[in-house]
Amino acid sequence: MKRTSLILMLPLLLAACGKEAPPAVKVERPAETILVGALATDTGNLYSGEVHARFETVLGFRIGGKLIERLVDAGAVVRKGQVLARLDGADTGLQASASSAQLQLAADELKRYRELRAQGFVSQSALDAKETALKSAEAQAGLASNQAAYTSLLADRDGVVSATYAEVGQVVGAGQSVLRVAQHGEREVLISIPESRFTSVRVGMPAEVVLSAAGSGLHVLPGHVREISPAADPASRTYPAYVAFDAKHAQVALGMTANVRLLKKVNKKEAQADSGFLIPMTALFQQGDKAAVWVVAGDRSVTLRPVTVVSYRDDGAVIGNGIQAGERIVRAGVHKLAEGEKIKPIENGRAL
């Protein structure tokens, strides 16, 4: 009976073994993508920076001593001649008193010698020595008086305190930084020029400073490049540049973020070289002597499309035609793709 059952089941087992396995699910390849839309002419001339005062003065005492009073903090508005801080004046007061006593003694001595000279009891040389001693005492008294006045730190111009460097109770040396005062009036924006754009920026170049203050809307102010550092910053490898602008009719606070657009005049050849869309160099797929990019369709499939490269720059390649604004292209891993393959688009580290 068992043998008969096995014989009957054998055809079914053979049929099951011959059945094809189900196809494996194809996994979409992750690929970094970007949207086309950055014009080449927009990226090179727009910089972000920070607003500074045109003139900033670091103030310190002309003598050393113990700081007993600081009358202002950062952000305080000060006037010219206003007392900002004071040193302990005990020692300078004693020196002034001693110099004043020496001056009075020299004056009395000179008066007495003049009377004696008139009576012929002293020589002219002795009288001259007393006159010289009086002049020396006057100079010493003046110096001591100045030293006593130096215990008060005064503002040398109208402005605002932008930083403090010393606290009450601290012993400071002559010339040591105590406060920094930013003068009212001219303002400028500190920006960083990359190496690839350094040769195209000139002192005096016109610019637009765009300020976006909270609650006051957008302000576009005319300006110009005032100064360009000849040496690059060792950390960022960029060149600091100062763009001056008129801030009379806008509320501009120190440290405010501003965008600067340099209004560069370009000739026809430069305009043609910068007309197009800027894409990363890694997005180019080279086919012999021709360039192409992978364009992502709505169903996430990729198609290789030839493009015309107008120019190569440090920050990417300028594409003249072949792609349109708003299209999505693959920016990395272009040599791993195949025509019609579906991908999983990723932008800025997140899947779309």
Q: Is 122 exposed, middle or buried (0-12, 13-18, 19+ CB in 10 A)?
A: middle
Quick: pLDDT tens for 155-207.
988 889 989 999 999 999 999 999 999 888 788 999 998 887 888 888 999 98
User: What value does the mean pLDDT of the chain take?
Assistant: 82
Query: What pLDDT shows up at residue 66?
Result: 94
User: Which residue ranges form the domains of the chain, and what is each CATH number?
Assistant: 30-41+271-351 (2.40.420.20), 46-54+185-263 (2.40.30.170), 58-87+152-183 (2.40.50.100), 89-150 (1.10.287.470)
Average pLDDT over residues 301-322: 84
Residue 257: phi and psi, rounded to 5, are -80, 135
Quick: pLDDT tens for 28-53.
788 888 888 655 554 446 788 888 88
Quick: pLDDT tens for 254-275.
888 888 888 866 554 554 445 6
Average pLDDT over residues 144-155: 90
Q: Is 181 exposed, middle or buried (0-12, 13-18, 19+ CB in 10 A)?
A: buried
Quick: pLDDT tens for 58-78.
999 999 999 999 999 988 999
Average pLDDT over residues 2-10: 53
Closest C-alpha to 316, from 304, 331, 296: 331
Sequential DSSP letters for 99-129: HHHHHHHHHHHHHHHHHHHHHTSS-HHHHHH
Give residue 26's pLDDT band: very low, low, confident or very high (50, 70, 90).
low
Give residue 347's pLDDT band: very low, low, confident or very high (50, 70, 90).
confident
Which tokens is 86 given?
Answer: 């004071």
Residue length of the chain: 352
Please give the share of the chain, as a percent, with pLDDT higher than 90: 34
Query: What pLDDT shows up at residue 186?
Result: 82
Quick: pLDDT tens for 106-134.
999 999 999 998 888 889 999 899 999 99
Residue 226: phi and psi, rounded to 5, are -90, -40
Give residue 1's pLDDT band: very low, low, confident or very high (50, 70, 90).
very low
In what helix (H) or strand (E) does residue 229 lie, and over which residues does it extend?
A: none
Quick: pLDDT tens for 220-252.
788 899 999 999 888 888 899 999 987 665 567
Query: What pLDDT shows up at residue 191?
Result: 92
CA 133 to CA 136: how far, in whole Å? 5
The residue with tokens 């009358």 is 71
Query: What pLDDT shows up at residue 151?
Result: 92
- When mean pLDDT is compared across 7-21, 173-187, 280-294, 303-317, the lowest value belongs to 7-21
